[in-house]
Amino acid sequence: MNKFTREISVEILVGLFMFTVLIALSIFTIVLSHEKLWSESHSYEFVFTEVSGLREGDAVYLRGMNVGRVKQTTLEDNRVHVYVTLDLPVTLRHGYQIDVVDASMLGGKILKIYEGPDDAPVLGENITIIGRKPVDMIQQLGEAVEGLQEMINAVASGQGTLGKLLHDDTMYENMTAISEDLQVVIDKVARGEGTVGKLLNDDSVYDDAAVVMANLRSVTDRIAAGEGTVGKLLMEDSTVYENVDATMVAVRGITESINAGEGTLGKLVRDAKLYDEATLLVEDVRAAIDDLREASPITSFGSVMFGAF
């Protein structure tokens, strides 16, 4: 290889290398600019009162998907105008929400778009899209801490139930009194005093209960064995039932006969003649008794007078 060829080779090599790297740098630049040169993009403008540090290049999310980036933020007329570029068109409806939210616990912001309810009417043309004021987590945390501090101060100064619990001795004293009373009751129970004490300490109740249970068991055994009236009534043998049934049939026959005026009882129930005769008999007997009562002194006197002779 002569000198000229070597020089040409070196120049070509250097040129190729620099050309390749410049192309790579161009691609790098395009990629980092987050611009999509060969696909359609859609630009939107949102207006906020505050954006809490939303910056150019922050991601835009729709239904949890990254659909674009914040292209520019400008402060105009006390409002922040946020210009975004989206990969797809978004149809906003009444009830839409545009929020600046934290990208993660570590920081960073994203723009979140909610298009609005499906059944809501679509927004008209040339309408300013207003974003919601972002929630400042730090501020909210500060307010929460402040509230907590106020609560602690109130408790420390004895306000409210918790404060009284911590500072007022009344409840403690009441608790102590209850505890002492309870101790007395427990001591009594332990000594076997009172009904509860006897229940816990005296075995006689248990023994009696055991006897009652034994007796009850004996009775139930007998019943189960078909002994006694109840046992016979409950046993599967239908003799008693049949006897009772026959008795009931007989009783029914008798009552029917009585109802029909048959026999002495039937006539007594149904025949008025016997009633009338009985009434007359009673009247005669009463008259006879009255006569006898009236005649009794005379008879007695006669008996005394004529008894001497």
Partner 1 sequence: MFMLLEATWFVQFAFGKRSRHETVTQLFITGIKSLAVITVVALFTGMILALQTGLELRRYGQEVYIGSAVAVSMIREMGPFMTGLIIAASVGSAIAAQLGTMTVSEEISALEVMSINPNRFLVMPRLVALALMMPVLTVYTNILGIVGGAVVGATQLGVSVTSYMDNATQFATNKDLYVGLFKAFIFGIIITTVSCHQGFMTTEGAVGVGKATRSSVIISFLVILVVGYMVTRLFYI
31: contact with partner 1 by CB under 8 A: yes
- Is residue 92 within 8 Å of residue 120, measured between CB atoms? no
Q: Which is nearer to partner 1, 83 or 235 (CB)?
A: 83
The answer for residues whose C-beta is within 8 angstroms of residue 261's C-beta and 6 or more apart is 267, 269, 270, 271
Say how far apart CA 282 and CA 200 lie, in whole Å: 72
The count of chain residues that interact with partner 1, using the rule CB under 8 A, is: 19
Instruction: Give least dist CB 106 to partner 1, A.
Output: 9
- Is residue 175 within 8 Å of residue 166, measured between CB atoms? no
**Look-up: residue for tokens 């070196």?**
10
Say how far apart CA 267 and CA 261 lie, in whole Å: 5
Interface mask toward partner 1 for 40-69; x: CB under 8 A:
-----------------x-x----------
Instruction: Give least dist CB 174 to partner 1, A.
Output: 51
Q: Which is nearer to partner 1, 11 or 283 (CB)?
A: 11
Helix axes 239-259, 263-270, angle to 10 degrees: 50
- Is residue 70 within 8 Å of residue 83, measured between CB atoms? yes
Instruction: Give least dist CB 44 to partner 1, A.
Output: 21
Q: Which of 22, 144, 250, 281 binds partner 1 (CB under 8 A)?
A: 22
72: contact with partner 1 by CB under 8 A: no
18: contact with partner 1 by CB under 8 A: yes
Residues binding partner 1 (CB under 8 A): 7, 10-11, 13-14, 17-18, 21-22, 24-25, 28-29, 31-34, 57, 59
